[in-house]
Amino acid sequence: MFRHISICLFAFFLPGMTISANAQGRKASPAELKSLDFKADQAQQAFLRSMVDLATDYEKAGEIERSKEMLKSILKLKPDADSVKSKLKQYEEDVFRRKSVTVDLDVSKGWINAGVLVTKDQAVRVEAGGVYRLLVDATLGPKGYQQKDSTKDLVSGVPTGALIGMIAPSTRNKKQPEPQPFMIGDAKEIKPNASGILFLKVNTPPQANCKGKLKVTLSGNITTR
């Protein structure tokens, strides 16, 4: 999108751009400079208005992503454009209202496929509620639980019993690193560092006996499977 805009600007301004040999090296007077600055400001304002109009037309055509890219281009030229920032924020919030899925998470079954695909760097909100029972009957030494496999055992650095997530790529190859669990808790907005399938479970040791369900709502940039 930015490359397209740059090409348009280049094509628009180049044909009429001429530099007089006599003008080279001549310094403009304060009055001339003020007049040129005024013209530059007017030209920028006109250009920004045209970009806003184009962003609006993209929105009306249902091309939200293109509208967002156009608005981001405007911020490159005018970083203090509060109305543009507000519109982009509205777009970001709209996706959470438009797309949502609720999952009844049976905590007795370990990792559960949430049934959604997430995309790298695209925000997803997770909200969870409910209660469940956690019973553990295990014989331990002074070192406590020994973590061997973070995808199966108790995940260190995360409260015991907390809701956790993991993103597994939809297609695997040997070069990809093993997916790592991450903390969710009762509510969290995540921007995945990789695209893939979202899995959910509670952080408990393998010897734990869990009973009950949690209601988990996923919203934002998700694709249901």
- Mean pLDDT lowest among 24-33, 129-138, 182-191, 207-216: 24-33
Nearest to 113 by CA among 209, 68, 179: 179
Q: Which helix (H) or strand (E) holds 106?
A: strand 100-106
- Mean pLDDT lowest among 79-93, 112-126, 142-156: 142-156
Q: What is the pLDDT of residue 58?
A: 87
- Pick 99-224's CATH classification: 3.30.360.10, 2.30.40.10, 3.50.50.60, 2.60.120.1250: 2.60.120.1250
Place of tokens 């061997």: 148
Residue 7 — very low, low, confident or very high, per pLDDT cuts 50/70/90?
A: very low
Q: What is the pLDDT of residue 45?
A: 85
Q: What is the pLDDT of residue 98?
A: 86
Residue 24 has pLDDT above 80, yes or no: no
| Residue 23 per-residue DSSP state | T
Q: What is the pLDDT of residue 205?
A: 84
Query: Which range among 26-35, 76-85, 97-106, 139-148 has the greatest average pLDDT?
Result: 97-106
Q: Helix, strand or coil for residue 167?
A: strand
Across 198-224, average pLDDT: 93
Dihedral of the alpha carbons of 39, 42, 44, 50, in degrees to the nearest 10: -140
CA of residue 15 relative to chain centroid, distance: 40
Question: In this structure, how many other beta carbons lie within 10 angstroms of the beta carbon of residue 66?
Answer: 16
Across 44-72, average pLDDT: 86
CA geometry: angle 143, 146, 147, nearest 5 deg = 145
Dihedral of the alpha carbons of 154, 132, 167, 66, in degrees to the nearest 10: -150
Q: What is the pLDDT of residue 167?
A: 95
Q: Which residues of 158-170 are buried (b: 16+ CB within 10 A; e: fewer)?
A: beeeebbbbbbee
Residue 21 — very low, low, confident or very high, per pLDDT cuts 50/70/90?
A: low
Across 98-107, average pLDDT: 94
> 38 versus 141: which is more confidently predicted?
38
pTM for this one? 0.66
Across 169-188, average pLDDT: 84
- Mean pLDDT lowest among 19-33, 104-118, 189-203: 19-33
Residue 78 has pLDDT above 80, yes or no: yes
Structural domain boundaries in the chain:
2-15+29-97, 99-224
> 20 versus 34: which is more confidently predicted?
34
Q: What is the pLDDT of residue 91?
A: 83
For CA atoms 86, 87, 92, 94, the dihedral sign is positive
- Range list of H helices, 14-162: 30-60, 64-77, 82-98
Chain mean pLDDT for the chain: 84
